Amino acid sequence: MPENSIPKEAAYQIINDELMLDGNPRLNLASFVTTWMEPECDKLMMAAINKNYVDMDEYPVTTELQNRCVNMIAHLFHAPLGESETAIGVGTVGSSEAIMLAGLAFKRKWQNKRKAEGKPYDKPNIVTGANVQVCWEKFARYFEVELKEVKLREGYYVMDPVKAVEMVDENTICVAAILGSTLNGEFEDVKLLNDLLLEKNKQTGWDTSIHVDAASGGFIAPFIYPELEWDFRLPLVKSINVSGHKYGLVYAGIGWVIWRSKEDLPEELIFHINYLGTDQPTFTLNFSKGASQIIAQYYQLIRLGYEGYQNIMENCRDNAMVLKEGLEKTGRFNIVSKDIGVPLVAFSLKDNSRHDEFEVSAMLRRFGWIVPAYTMPPDAQHVTVLRVVIREDFSCTLAERLVIDYHKGTS
C-alpha cells in the first residue's frame, strides 16, 4: 500500500491503462459467463450497486424479486407446486455455491436417515462422472464426502448411467448428473439414470436420488428441448442448480438452487437471524453480497420471457452449427460436441504432427481469440480438445471470422 494518496483522476488512469492489457471479454470464447447485457439492465445494476442483498428488511423489494426468480425457475423446471405454493430455492453467487448447498442437504438427509436406522453414517459418498466441474471435487473435499467417479473413455465423454448405478451403495448420498458437461456440452441421460436408479432402489430398499447440475443446460433445455425429461418431471430428481450468469444471461455473480419440495431441504440447515429487523431465514454459505445480480436476473426473466430466451438459445444453436460446419470443412478436426446440448463446439485435431491443440490455442490468441485447449479426464486423458462456447453476443460473422483466422494462422 502506498504511503501517500494520489489524485482520483491519476488512480483511475493508472488502473484503466493496466486493465487494457486484459483480454477482451467479448472475444473470450472460453467462458460460459455472460459478457453483454442491455444498457437498461446495466442502469438498474449500477443503481443497486450499493445495496447489500442480505439486508432483507431494508430492501424488501429486492428480496421479493429474488423470490419471484426462484418461483419462475422452479416452474421452468417443472417443480410439483400447487397454485399458491411457493418454490423452495435460493439465489447464490454461482453454481458452485448452489452445489455446495444441494450437496449438504443430501448429506444431512442421508445422515439423519442412517442415524434413525442405527447404522453408521461416517462414510458418505457421491457418484458422478469423471467429467464433473471442479466445484464437485471441492464439495467432496470441503464437506468430507467420498467422490466416486465413473471413468470416461475415448469417444464417450459423459457419465455412463449404467456404470453410475452400479457404483451406488448404501452410503451414496446422491448421484449427480450434468445437464451440459463443461468439457463438451453434452447432456447426460438423466431419464435413463432415473429409471435405472428406481429399479435399484426397488431391489435394495434404498432411496438414492439425483441432483442435476444444470449450470449451463438449465436455461437451454427448457427453451429449445422442452420435451427432454431431465428435471423435476423425473421422480428421483430432488434438486437442481443453474448458473444465472451463464445462459441465464446475467453478468458473473448469480446462481440458483431449487429443491423439489420442503422435505428435501433439512430444516436444520436453515439459519434464522433477527438482528436486522424481522425473522430472516438464510441458507447460503456467505452472508453479504451485492443485490445487482438478482435484480438483473429478474430483468432478464420479465424482459425476455419464454419467447425471448427461446429466440436467443435458438440463435446460439444456429451459430454453433455455422462454426461446427466451418471447422468440419477444413477437414482437419474431429468434432467432439453434440448437436443437442450446450451451444458450443469442442473439437480436436485429426492430425497433430504439424501442431497440437495447445499450439492452435496460442496461435488464435495472436488474433485476439481466447479458445482454451485441455485434456479430457481419466480414462480419456490422451484426448485433447479445443472448445468455443457460443454465447448470445457471438454472432455468425464472428464464427466465420474465427475459421478464417484459423486458416491464416496455420497456412
Ligand X SMILES: Cc1ncc(COP(=O)(O)O)c(C=O)c1O
Please give the residue ranges that form the binding site for ligand X (CB under 6 A): 32, 94-96, 133, 135, 178, 180, 182, 213, 215-216, 243, 255
In the complex, the smallest distance separating the C-beta of residue 95 from ligand X, rounded to whole angstroms, is 3
Q: Give the span between the Cα atoms of 117 and 271, in whole angstroms.
A: 26
Question: Which residue, 28 or 182, is less far from ligand X as judged by CB?
Answer: 182
> Considering the complex, what minimum distance in angstroms separates the CB of residue 224 from ligand X?
18
Quick one: 31 or 384, whose CB is closer to ligand X? 31
Count of Cβ atoms closer than 10 Å to residue 393 Cβ: 14
Place of cell 430432488: 238
Q: State the nearest-atom distance from the C-beta of 392 to ligand X, in Å.
A: 16
Cβ atoms of 51 and 290 closer than 8 Å = yes
Phi, psi for residue 407 in degrees, rounded to 5:
-60, -45
CA–CA separation, 381 and 47 (whole Å) = 47
Instruction: In angstroms, give the least distance from the CB of 341 to ligand X.
Output: 12
Nearest-CB residue for ligand X: 94
Q: What 3-state class would DSSP assign to 345?
A: strand
What is the rounded end-to-end Cα distance, in angstroms, of the chain? 49
Burial class (CB in 10 A: 0-12, 13-18, 19+), 121: middle
Residue pointed to by grid coordinates 444471461: 249
For the chain, the farthest-separated pair of C-alpha atoms sits apart, in whole angstroms, at 72
AA identity, residue 102:
A
C-alpha cell at 34: 455472460
Closer CB to ligand X, residue 182 or residue 293? 182
The CB-of-183 to ligand X minimum distance in angstroms stands at: 9
Name the residue nearer to ligand X (CB basis): 76 or 322.
76
Residues 238, 83: Cα–Cα separation, whole Å:
20
Three-state DSSP state, 334:
strand
Question: Residue 243 CB, nearest distance to ligand X (Å)?
Answer: 4
- Which residue's CB is nearer to ligand X, number 76 or number 179? 179
Q: Which is nearer to ligand X, 322 or 336 (CB)?
A: 336
Backbone angles phi, psi at 49, to 5 degrees: -65, -25
Report CA-CA distances (Å) from 118 to 7, 114, 181, 341: 67, 6, 38, 43
The smaller minimum CB distance to ligand X, of residues 32 and 157, is found at 32
Residue whose cell numbers read 450497486:
49
CB of 244 to ligand X, least distance (A): 8
Q: Which is nearer to ligand X, 56 or 342 (CB)?
A: 342
| Shortest distance, position 215 Cβ to ligand X, whole Å | 3
Residue among 242, 296, 402 nearest 39 (CA): 296
> Which CB sits closer to ligand X, 103 or 180?
180
The vertex-364 CA angle with 319 and 186, nearest 5°, equals 45
Closest CA to 280 of 109, 47, 66: 66
Please, which residue, 255 or 326, has the CB nearer to ligand X?
255
**Nearest residue (CB) to ligand X, 243 versus 292:** 243
Burial class (CB in 10 A: 0-12, 13-18, 19+), 363: middle
Question: Minimum distance from CB of 98 to ligand X (Å)?
Answer: 8
User: Rg of the Cα trace of the chain?
Assistant: 22
In the complex, what is the shortest distance from the CB of residue 248 to ligand X, in angstroms, rounded to a whole number?
10
C-alpha cell at 145: 464426502
Q: Tell the smallest beta-carbon distance from residue 146 to ligand X (Å).
A: 19
